[in-house]
Structures are given as C-alpha cells and as structure tokens.
Amino acid sequence: MPPVPDPTLFDKVVNLCKRRGFVFPSAEIYGGFRSTYDYGPVGVLLLRNVKEEWWRSMVQLRHDVVGLDAAILSPPAIWEASGHLQNFTDPLVDCRKCRERFRLDKLDDPNECPNCHAKGSFTEARHFNLMFKTYAGPVEGTGAEVYLRPETAQGMFVNFKNVLETSRKRPPFGIAQIGKSFRNEITPGNFVFRTREFEQMEMEYFVPPDEAGKWYEYWCDERLRWYVELGIPEDQLRLRAHDEEELSHYSSATSDVEFLFPWGWDELEGIANRTDYDLRQHAQASGESLDYFDPALGERYVPYVIEPAAGATRTAMAFLMAAYDEEEVAREGQGQGESRTVLRFHPRIAPYKVAVLPLSKKPELQEPANEVLGLLQPHYMCDYDETQAIGRRYRRQDELGTPYCVTIDFETLDDRAVTVRDRDSMAQDRVPIDALLDHLEPKLS
Ligand code: GAP
C-alpha cells in the first residue's frame, strides 16, 4: 500500500521555503511575477547538490557519457526540424462565463469549468505553441526571430557530429546537459513544479537501433534507482508507462518516474525511446550526414536515442517534500519548542553539511570556532551561527536539513574537543578537534 499523500504538506513546505531562504517569489518587492521563483541562499545550495549528484552519476562515474553546455538562444531551423514549431502545443480553452483559461487535456470534465462550474461554456480548443519567441539584433521581424529552447535535448542532437568527431566515443554513448529551458505554460503552478523558466537535466544515449529496447529498460531502472539512493522512499516513487495517445511526437515508448506529491502521483522525469527521429530530421534539414559507420559491423546506421529527461527544479521540490518531517522531542539546551520540524535530507543533498555553532559570542570562543570552521570549509559547505540560544539554533539547522552541528563551548578551551550533534537522532558526541574530519567523513560521504 503506497502512503496516502498529505494535502497539508504542500503549504508547510512552501512556507518553510520562504521562511528559511530556500525559494522566494520572484520580483516580490514589485508584487511578484506570476510563477517565477528565485532560489535563496539555501535553495541555491540544494539545487546545486541535485545537479551535482545527477552529473556525478550520469557523467563522472561513467566512461560512456560526456557533457555539453549548448546555447539557450536557437534559430527557428532547429525547432522546425525537431517538430516543435508544429507540435509543441497545448490545447487551450477559455470559459466564456468566468474568462478563465485552461488546458483542455488537464480538465477532469471537458464540459464543466472547474472555476465557475458553468457547463458547456468552453470555447473551441486552440493549439497554443509553448515556445518563447524573441528577436536577435535591433530589427524585429522575420529573419531575426530566435527561440528560447523548450528542452535542452536539441543541443545534443545538433552537436552529435561534433561530439562524435572529438570525443572518441562510439555508440552506445551519451551526451548529458544541465541547463535552463523555457516554456510558456498555460497553467503554471504548484509552486516550482510547473514554471515557465526551469532547469532540466537531460541525457541523450545513442545506441545501435536493435539495442534500443534493452537500453530503454536499463535507463528506466537506473533512473529510478538514483532517486532511491538519494533518500526518496521507494513507496513514494513509481514508474508509469505512457499509453499510445500520451506519447510525444518523437517517442515510440516513454515511462515517467513519478513521485507522490501532496496532490497525488506526478511526473519527475521521463525516459523516452526517441528512435532515430531527431537525428534524421536534423540530417534532412541541415544536409549534414548524422549517421555512424560501425567499422566492426561494416555497417552505417542512424543511432536510436534513449533519453532520460529530468527537471532539476522539480526534483529539488520532491527532495524537499520527501525530507519534511515533524516530531515531538525533548528540550535541547535553552531552546523551547517540544515539537520540531526537520528536513531529513540525504547528506549529499543537504544544503549545508555542517553548522559551526559557538555556544556564546564571547571573544574567547571565537578563535576555536574559527579554527573549526577553517578546518571544515575546504571539505564541506558549512553554516556559521553565533546568535540566539543553542536550542533555537539547533531548530533552525533542523529546518535547513543540516546533518551535523558542531558546538564549541567553554570546555573546548581546556580539552580541545567539540560536541557533534546528529540531526536525526539528536545524539551528541564529544569529539577532539583533531579527529573531527575523520569523525564526519564516513557519515557525510
Ligand atoms: N527532452 C524531453 C523533455 O523535455 P519533458 O517531459 O517535457 O521531456 C522533462 O520534460 C522534465 O523536465 C519533466 O519530467 C520535468 O521534470 C521537467 N519539466 C518540464 N516542464 C517543466 C516546467 N514547466 N516546470 C518545471 N519542470 C518542468
């Protein structure tokens, strides 16, 4: 039995994100800018860790995947060939009564407006292209049109030949990229789940056509495993295969990794068999040959592509939701609060790994506190906090998800030891400063 989603979790996480500096509404001093968000001092660390872990598993720890960082601005020719100009649309309907706008394919009942409950009030569906268009140079007009990429994937396809010629990789091999994508979503919402500007982590894995099925299965398993390894409980994740009508214009098979969000199961990542669609389209449109000659087989073929495509911002949100916990605890130090909120992040995802907390602001504690901070900072992202009662500072670090707090007290001046407090068990160990790195390393790596 999967856990039942907690509908109150959404507001709790959104509030914590604002209160603790994970995510701020964009342009807030101007009243906000609908569905855009800024990542604050802690959120930027969380997002970097998500991307870093993806890169580590998809590029660093493999011999068959290389990286790329392609341009965001791209000419219409790319999107003409990829099919996005024609197909990357959502069906849009307006309610004639309340004038609200909806995506037809997301309505529970296509005859009833979910806002004003009018029946049969929708206009005919119009196909609305999701790409943002702008102009390069001072003259607006045809010829100067450019698009902000709606997926990072096309950068990999149009560089296939460059990478093949320079990297000495041969199918099966992949090209991975992390970067911003832009979609003029009709109904953005659910916090950072669906926004118009977001970050993707995508990998195009080029394979011999007859191996596509095998690699599709392989990447579905690999990608699901990644989320579990980084601490998302298995019963909050599932793989769901798309049915025929749901498939994108380029895909012969797609499975989504879904997470149990507070509103129910929803997509974190799609793993698609894109066949040879994109390479063939670009070869035809550009006139460049994008096939591969396999010297072992003596054969020329256009590789098939298996694509695991994840959202970095959406994944960060899932890590926040999965990590959120509240519990009743005994008093710590002078702190009040018998209940605490704690983000139980995996240490590799946690924004700060260690917080250095001198017990008081007294000058004699500053020297050992600085020494400890200087010892840890080259290895770990650390927070430093010397104000308020220690119990309140622990609560703050719990809400940031910091796995360990290191407290420097007056005994430190005599014994050169510090207290290491564990976020989850709240257990405290006395550890000599000289042994601190060895003590933390196995817990944080
Ligand atoms: N290249 C294939 C592709 O872009 P997609 O399913 O449209 O596939 C991949 O996007 C992932 O990007 C999604 O699973 C989701 O995590 C993320 N994503 C897509 N649109 C998004 C949006 N508007 N806001 C936030 N994340 C989004």
Distance 316 CA to ligand 1 centre (A): 13
Distance from C-alpha of 398 to C-alpha of 42, rounded to nearest angstrom: 13
Banded pLDDT at 416 (limits 50, 70, 90)? very high
**pLDDT class of 329 with cuts at 50, 70, 90:** confident
Q: Is the CB of 154 under 6 A from ligand 1?
A: no
Atom of ligand 1 nearest to the CA of 267: 14
Pocket test for ligand 1, best of 90, 185, 200, 307 (most atoms within 8 A of CB): 200
CA gap 136, 134 in Å, rounded? 7
User: Whose structure tokens read 């309505």?
Assistant: 107
Residues 6+ apart with CB under 8 A from 46: 22, 39, 316, 319, 320, 349, 351
Phi, psi dihedral angles at 216 (to 5 degrees): -60, -50
Interval between CA 200 and ligand 1 midpoint (Å): 7
pLDDT digits 0-9 by tens, 163-207: 999 999 999 999 999 999 999 998 899 999 999 999 999 999 999
223 CA from centroid of ligand 1 (Å): 15
On the question of pLDDT at 2 being above 80, the answer is no
Q: Does any ligand 1 atom lie closer than 6 A to the CB of residue 254?
A: no
Residue 223 Cβ inside 6 Å of ligand 1? The answer reads: no
357 vs 407: CA distance, rounded Å:
5
- Ligand 1 centre distance from Cα of residue 189 (Å): 14
The preferred substitution site among 34, 151, 157 for testing ligand 1, maximizing ligand atoms within 8 Å of CB, is 151
Atom 17 of ligand 1, residue of closest alpha carbon: 311
Can you list the alpha helix ranges (DSSP code H) found in 251-405?
A: 277-286, 312-323, 363-376, 390-400
Q: Is the pLDDT of residue 445 over 90?
A: no
Rounded to 10 degrees, the C-alpha dihedral 116/121/124/127 comes to: 0
pLDDT greater than 80 at residue 308:
yes
pLDDT tier, 142 (very low <50, low <70, confident <90, very high otherwise): confident
Assign 3-state DSSP to the chain and report helix, strand, coil percentages, each to 5: 35, 30, 35
pTM flag (> 0.75): yes
Residue pLDDT, tens place only, 233-263: 999 999 999 999 899 888 999 999 999 999 9
pLDDT band at 334 (very low <50, low <70, confident <90, very high): low
With a 6 A CB cut-off, is 311 part of the ligand 1 pocket? yes
> 219 phi and psi, to 5 degrees?
-75, -30
Ligand 1 centroid to Cα of residue 330, in Å, is 43
Nearest residue by C-alpha to atom 18 in ligand 1: 311
- Which is the closest atom of ligand 1 to the Cα of 150? 4
How many angstroms does the Cα of residue 281 sit away from the middle of ligand 1?
Answer: 22
CA 358 to centroid of ligand 1, rounded, Å:
44
SS3 119: strand
Separation CA 201–CA 180 (nearest Å): 9
Dist. CA 360 → ligand 1 center (Å): 47
Q: Is 211 in the pocket of ligand 1 (CB under 6 A)?
A: no
- Ligand 1, atom 16, lies closest to the CA of 311
Residue nearest atom 15 of ligand 1, based on CA coordinates: 311
Residue nearest to atom 14 of ligand 1 (CA): 269
Ligand 1: centre distance to CA 343 (Å)? 25
Q: In whole angstroms, give the CA distance from residue 247 to residue 417.
A: 60
**Is residue 408 lining ligand 1, measured as CB closer than 6 Å?**
no
For ligand 1, is residue 371 a contact (CB within 6 Å)?
Answer: no
Average pLDDT, rounded, for the chain: 95
58-104 pLDDT per residue, tens: 999 999 999 999 999 999 999 999 999 999 999 999 999 999 999 99
Q: Which atom of ligand 1 is nearest the CA belonging to 269? A: 14
What is residue 330's predicted lDDT score, i.e. its pLDDT?
A: 81
Residues 6 or more apart in contact with residue 125 via CB below 8 angstroms: 91, 92, 93, 104
How far does the centroid of ligand 1 lie from the alpha carbon of residue 151, in Å?
8
Classify residue 100 by its DSSP letter: -
Give per-residue pLDDT as tens, 46-63: 999 999 999 999 999 999
Asked if the peptide bond before residue 172 counts as cis, ω within 30 degrees of 0, the response is yes
Q: State pLDDT tens for residues 278-307.
A: 999 999 999 999 999 999 889 999 999 999
197 lines ligand 1 (CB under 6 A): no
C-beta 185 within 6 A of ligand 1: yes
Task: Please tell me if the CB atom of residue 198 comes closer than 6 angstroms to any atom of ligand 1.
Answer: yes
